[in-house]
Amino acid sequence: MRASRRLFALVWLSLSQVILNPLLTKEGVEGGRTAAAFSTPSLVRRGTVPHAAPQLSVGWLMGSLAQATSGDTRQYREAEGFHPPRTISLAPSVTEILFALGAGDEVVGVSTYCDYPPEVTRIKRVGTFLTPNVEEIVALRPDLIIGVPTPGNEGPVRSLQSLGLKVVIVGGDTMRQMRESIDVIAQAIGRPGAGRDLLERLDARLAAVRERVRDAPARRVLMVVGQKPLVAVGSGTFPDELIRMAGGINVAGGTALAWPHVNIESVIAWAPEVIIDTSMGTEESPRTLEFWKQFPSLPAVRDHRVYGYRSYQLLRPGPRITEALDALARAIHPERFEGSVQSPNFGPWTLDFGRCLS
């Protein structure tokens, strides 16, 4: 049970933005508390709802998102004598965007779980992604605080705003929202040109990968984020979009849930041709893939197409999306990448994309 809770705490961290939509529909993921089951018999159980979800103010979330894309950023764009703001990031994806925009030197505080790029190890920690530490944040005298909407940070965000601090909340549960987040953050830190340049680079690299798999036969893909319980990537999520962009069919997409708990009977019935296992926390080890050897009848296992993803890029809507898509496309359609180097010219970030089950 302890391992399961820790696993899902990490899943919550890496799936920061992409979990917003499931929360609003009460179909999220968190160990040990399931929502009502389907009224009709099914091999798939409903997703679960984080304990704090009932206290989440939908109005606050939507209001914060609207605020972040309007007046807040204009104030920074139009201010005379603009100086680079001392910035605090409350989420790993935000931190990665800030550094990709060239604003790393202006970041004075990050969340406990921010781990990329390596430079962030030297930056002051200001609490967790879900519960930022107001006192630590205030002590750093920030000009700007950027976070994502979560069930736990509404109170701290209100406290920071009541002290007159500028707080911008950005979303990112879809590709479109990720692009909007990059633009909003770039405007807020006074680097709109850098934001446009970053988006152009991302678009070009994404287009290059999509061209590789254009007209390739769609393959059935199962992506899981945990094994105990078995939790799959469902529909309407950021990784679901990546699977489709990479030329795959998300076999768990038909559940109409964002993060469905599934049983092995469902997996066998889906017969995935490729399995991407992104299990994290206590389940993340070289032995992760051994789990699948129990099911040799699965096409993915039979054909040695089970992969362990050793990093969190795939679960973070941010600038490393190009590397994530490249690795995912290579796993689904390796024949389209023969003779090419993985993630060519994709900057300093590279994927450690596990190993194929042998």
> pLDDT tens digits for 214-232?
999 999 999 999 898 999 9
Total tally of structural domains belonging to the chain: 2
Q: pLDDT tens digits, residue range 302-355?
A: 998 988 875 566 778 899 999 889 989 999 999 998 866 554 332 222 233 444
In the predicted structure, residue 18 carries a pLDDT above the cut 90: no
Query: Which one is predicted more confidently, 357 or 280?
Result: 280
In the predicted structure, residue 249 carries a pLDDT above the cut 60: yes
pLDDT at 82: 63
Average pLDDT of the chain, as a whole number: 76
CATH number at residue 160: 3.40.50.1980
- Terminal C-alpha separation, the chain: 30
3 state SS of 245: helix
Whether 153 is in a domain gets the answer yes
Assess whether 116 and 137 both reside in one domain.
yes
Assess whether 175 and 237 both reside in one domain.
no
Assess whether 70 and 142 both reside in one domain.
yes
Pairwise CA distance, residues 314 & 312, whole Å: 5
Assess whether 293 and 218 both reside in one domain.
yes
Mean pLDDT for 163-186 is 92
DSSP class of residue 329? H
In the predicted structure, residue 279 carries a pLDDT above the cut 50: yes
Assess whether 11 and 93 both reside in one domain.
no
HSE-CB at 227 with a 13 A cutoff on CA atoms is 20
In the predicted structure, residue 233 carries a pLDDT above the cut 60: yes
3 state SS of 34: strand
Q: Would strands 219-227 and 230-232 be described as parallel, antiparallel, or unpaired?
A: antiparallel
Pairwise CA distance, residues 160 & 241, whole Å: 34
pLDDT at 280: 62
What residue has token string 């001392």?
86
Q: pLDDT tens digits, residue range 30-55?
A: 222 222 222 222 233 333 322 233 33
Model-level pTM greater than 0.85?
no
Assess whether 315 and 231 both reside in one domain.
yes
Whether 11 is in a domain gets the answer yes
CA distances for 78 relative to 103, 115, 143, angstroms: 19, 33, 15
What residue has token string 């950021």?
238
Pairwise CA distance, residues 137 & 145, whole Å: 9
What residue has token string 């450690």?
352
Whether 343 is in a domain gets the answer no
Query: Which one is predicted more confidently, 352 or 200?
Result: 200
User: ω into residue 319 within 30 of 0, thus cis?
Assistant: no
Assess whether 41 and 151 both reside in one domain.
no
Query: Which pLDDT band, with edges at 50, 70 and 90, does 6 fall under?
Result: very low
Query: Which pLDDT band, with edges at 50, 70 and 90, does 96 fall under?
Result: very high
HSE-CB at 157 with a 13 A cutoff on CA atoms is 26
Assess whether 75 and 46 both reside in one domain.
no
Assess whether 38 and 82 both reside in one domain.
no
Q: Which of 288, 340, 342 is nearest to 313 (CA)?
A: 342
3 state SS of 276: strand
- Domain span holding position 290: 2-51+207-337
pLDDT at 341: 58
Q: pLDDT tens digits, residue range 145-158?
A: 999 988 788 899 99
